[in-house]
Amino acid sequence: MAIGWLTALKTIPWADVISTAPIVVDGAKKLWSSVGKKPAPPELAPAASPPVSSPEAQAIAALETRIAALEVEASDLHGQMVASSELIKALAEQNTQLISRIETSRVRLLWLAVANVVIAVIAVGALGLAIVRQGA
């Protein structure tokens, strides 16, 4: 299982991910600002219809009922769009923080690897010097 994660982490182009993270956040902020500024469509209460007698009046009443239903649905969709854009913005910000922390960990791991190599070289050198001194 760990090998799969290591393979995935090695194949991810981290330089590209890190360089595009601010673009993703800016896009999410622009989406939020454009969606958040739009006012929600006003909800209209269905008007009480007078008794309908002619076929034309019945058709108009049916259309008015459909229009009212569509306006309510459009209002619901607008609310969902606002909620979705809030979620996208939050996820983009979390993604940026995650990438920043991963980059920090990557740099620390690189420094740790370099320090381990230096310590290993010093240990091998000290061991070689001790062997040479014993032989002399």
For residue 12, the 8-state DSSP code is S
Give 13-55 pLDDT, tens digit per residue.
767 777 777 777 777 777 767 766 666 555 555 555 556 578 8
Distance CA 81, CA 38 (A): 11
Name the DSSP class of 136: -
Task: Answer whether 43's CB lies under 8 Å from 71's CB.
Answer: yes
Q: List CB contacts of 19: < 8 A, sequence separation 6 or more.
A: none
Q: What is the pLDDT of residues 84-122, one digit of tens each?
A: 888 888 888 888 888 888 889 989 999 999 999 999 999
For the chain, what percent of residues have pLDDT higher than 70? 79
Q: Which amino acid makes up residue 59?
A: A
Q: What pLDDT score does 18 carry?
A: 72
pLDDT for residue 56 is more than 70: yes
| H or E element in which residue 49 lies | none
| Residues 133, 101: Cα–Cα separation, whole Å | 47
User: What predicted TM-score, i.e. pTM, was given to this entire model?
Assistant: 0.49
> Cβ distance 61 to 52 under 8 Å?
yes
What pLDDT does 87 receive? 86
